[in-house]
């Protein structure tokens, strides 16, 4: 069911300084910031030869990454995104296997303009999983 790793996401308290670290210190290509109000984050993508790193900064009062950054104020790995061919088929299979899908269970449009869902980290060894249909 799982395809490639689409991206690994890191929550950061200050996107501008994270961009500077990845672009200037690590020498990576970093996209322009993109605000995603429906997801409560502003993101950039670090383009790598084999995958991407997504840097996330909270956006708005009830950002879903605010609590994460309270526990990890300097930032930390937030989720891993796997590609799937059909997100509804994947979701239904996961639900019938007892996994919990976050939110209302319906895919939202993610940063790449494609449908995404998140799976409860307690069902997957403490790791928040994002599925993206590609």
By CB under 5 A, what part of segment 67-86 binds Co ion? 81
130 is catalytic: yes
Helix (H, G, I), strand (E, B) or coil at 34: strand
The interface with Co ion within residues 101-130 (CB under 5 A) comprises 130
Closer residue to Co ion, CB minimum distance, 41 or 94: 41
Integer Rg of the chain from CA: 15
Q: Which is nearer to Co ion, 6 or 94 (CB)?
A: 6
On whether the CB atoms of residues 15 and 36 are closer than 8 A, the answer is no
Q: Tell whether residue 18 is a contact of Co ion (CB under 5 A).
A: no
Phi, psi of 49 (to 5 degrees): -60, -35
**Which lies closer to Co ion via its Cβ, residue 24 or residue 43?**
43
How many residues sit in the footprint of Co ion (CB under 5 A)? 4
Residue 65 within binding range of Co ion, rule CB under 5 A: no
Q: How far is the CB of 59 from Co ion (least distance, A)?
A: 14
Helices then strands, each counted (H, E), the chain: 3, 9
Cα–Cα dist 55/130, whole Å: 14
Looking at the Cβ atoms of 54 and 57, the one nearer to Co ion is 54
Between the two ends of the chain, the Cα-to-Cα distance in Å is: 12
Catalytic residues: 130
Name the residues that contact Co ion, by CB under 5 A. Answer: 9, 54, 81, 130
């Amino acid at each position: 069911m799982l395809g490639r790793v689409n991206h690994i996401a890191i929550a950061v308290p200050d996107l501008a300084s994270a961009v500077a670290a990845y672009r200037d210190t690590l020498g990576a290509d970093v996209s322009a910031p993109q605000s995603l109000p429906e997801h409560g984050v502003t993101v950039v993508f670090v383009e790598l030869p084999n995958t991407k790193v997504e840097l996330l900064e909270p956006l708005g009062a009830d950002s879903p990454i605010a609590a994460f950054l309270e526990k990890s104020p300097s930032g930390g790995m937030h989720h891993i995104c796997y590609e799937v061919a059909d997100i509804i088929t994947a979701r239904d299979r996961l639900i019938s296997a007892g996994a919990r899908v976050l939110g209302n269970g319906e895919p939202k449009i993610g940063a790449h303009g494609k449908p995404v869902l998140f799976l409860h980290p307690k069902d997957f060894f403490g790791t928040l999983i994002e599925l993206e249909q590609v």
